[in-house]
Amino acid sequence: MIEKPLSDFLRPQALNDLVGQDHLLSENSILGKCVVNKNLPSLILWGPPGSGKTTLARLLVATIKAELIQISAVLSGMKDIRSAIEKARVIKEKLGKVVVFVDEVHRFNKAQQDAFLPHIESGLFVFIGATTENPGFEINSALRSRTHVLILKTLNNEALNILLKRGFKALNVPFEIFTVNAINFLINNADGDGRRLLNILESICNNIKIEKNTRVTLDNLKNIFPQIQRSFDKKGDQFYDQISAFHKSIRGSDPDAALYWMSRMLDGGMDPRYLARRIIRIASEDIGLADPRALSICLDAASAYDRLGSPEGELALAEAVIFIAVAAKSNATYKAFNASKKFVKEHLSDPVPVHLRNASTVFEKKLEHGKEYDYSHDNLDGISRNQSYFPHSLSSSNPVFYEPVDRGLEVKIALKLSEIKLKRNGN
C-alpha cells in the first residue's frame, strides 16, 4: 500500500526522470549548462498545472547541492517572506548555496514580490518562482528583469503514457487489464496534466476490484466517472487563450474551428452568457456594416439563451457563431470609432457652430442659434448642400474616420457615401 498520494509518491528523483520537458534540459539550454556548471540563475517557471514546475525546481536545487526554502504564495504573507529571508541568511553562512522557491508566485502582490529584489541582487539566494499565469501580466517587471523565464509545456500523450505505466507499476496493477479505449479515456481526460492523470488512475484503482480475470473497459470507466471536466481556468491564461482562438477563428471565417473552441470552452465550464457577450462584440468589431444582420442575430441568440438556458439555449449561440463566421468581414466601424476617439483626444474642444446649435427658446433664437441651417428634408434628395457638420476649425478638412471596405453591404455604403459627398459639395 502506498501511504501518500500516487502523484507525490511518483515524483521524479532525478532530472532524467522528468517527462515532457526535454526542451528545457538539453545540453545547449540554460538549464542544461547550469546542471553541468552546478550554478543556477534565478528563474520563473511558467507552465500549466501538472507540468512539473515544483518537481523541476526541487531537482535543480538538489543538482546544485543547495539548501531549499519553500513558501507558497497562497498561504504566506510578508511575515513569511521576512522569515524565509532571515533563514536564508543563516543557511548562507553555513552552506553557501540557498534557493528560495515560491509556488504560485503570481498570488503575491507588488510589495510582496518586491521584497525579494534586494536579496536576489546581493546574491543572498537564488530565487525560483512557479506560476500558471502569464509572467508578463502577473509578475512585476522588476522581478522579471532579474530572472530567466522558462516555459514548461503541457504534457503530450507520450509523456502521459510514461506516467501512466509508472502509476500502474506503483499500484501493482497490470497495465494489460485496461483496454486501449480505457487507456485513451484516462489520457484524454488528464488533459495534459500529469498530476491529474495519476489522481484519476489512483481513484479508479481504488474503485475497481482487481482479480485474475479483471478487464477494465471504457464503459467501466464511464460508470465510475460519468463526466470528467476538461482543464479550463475561468480567470487564467487558458481562458484568454481559448477565447482568443475562438475570436480569431470567427474573424478568419472558419465556422468549424469556431464551433470547436466554443465546445471546448463550454465543456470546460465557461458561462454561456459570457460567450454570448463575446459574439455580440465580435459582430460589431469584425463584421460591422458589412452585414448589419450579424449584430441582430447575436443579440437574438443571447436573448434565446436567457429564455431557454442550457443546454437548449446553447444551440442558438452556435447558430449565431456559424453566421458571424461565414458573414462578410469589416473592421471599418471599429477603426472609425477608435480613430475618432484618438482625434478628439488630440484636438481642442471647439464650440458647436451656430447653425448646428439648438434653437428651442426665444433667447436662443435671438442669439441666432440654428440660423442658416439647411434642413435636409427640404431638399428633394434629402441631402443638404454646402453645409459642414464639424466645428469651424475643421470644416475645411472634414476629417474622415469611416472608410468602408470592399466587402458585403459596405460596397453599397461606399457608393452611397460618394454620391452624398458630391451632392453636399454642390455637384
How far CA 172 is from CA of 168, 187, 199, 205, in Å, comes to 6, 19, 15, 10
- Answer yes or no: do 298 and 196 share one domain: no
Residues 136 and 193 in one domain: no
277 and 355 inside one domain:
no
CA distances 154 to 164, 195, 411, Å, are 16, 12, 46
pLDDT at position 229: 53
User: Is the residue at 124 inside a domain?
Assistant: yes
14 in a structural domain: no
**Is 6 part of a structural domain of the chain?**
no
Is 288 a domain residue? Answer: yes
Residue 243 maps to which CATH number?
Answer: 1.20.272.10
Across 47-125, the runs of DSSP E, i.e. the strands, are 67-72, 98-103
Q: What span, in angstroms and rounded, lies between the C-alpha atoms of 50 and 19?
A: 11
Q: Tell me, what's the pLDDT at 236? A: 57
Answer yes or no: do 243 and 213 share one domain: no
Map grid coordinates 517572506 to a residue.
81
Q: Total domain count for the chain?
A: 4
Is position 367 within any domain?
Answer: yes
Q: What is the pTM of this model?
A: 0.65
pLDDT at 150: 92
Give me the pLDDT at residue 1, please. 60
Give pLDDT, residue 301. Answer: 95
DSSP string over 302-340: HHHHHHH-TTHHHHHHHHHHHHHHHS----HHHHHHHHH
Residue 4, domain member (yes or no): no
Could you list the residue range(s) of the whole structural domain that residue 47 is in? Answer: 21-151
Task: Dump pLDDT digits (tens) for 142-179.
Answer: 999 999 999 999 899 999 999 999 999 998 888 888 89
pLDDT of amino acid 89: 92
Which stretches of the chain score pLDDT less than 70? 1, 211-212, 226-237, 426-427
* Inside any domain, residue 15: no
Answer with the one of 224, 251, 267 that is the final residue of a domain.
224
Domain presence at residue 261: yes
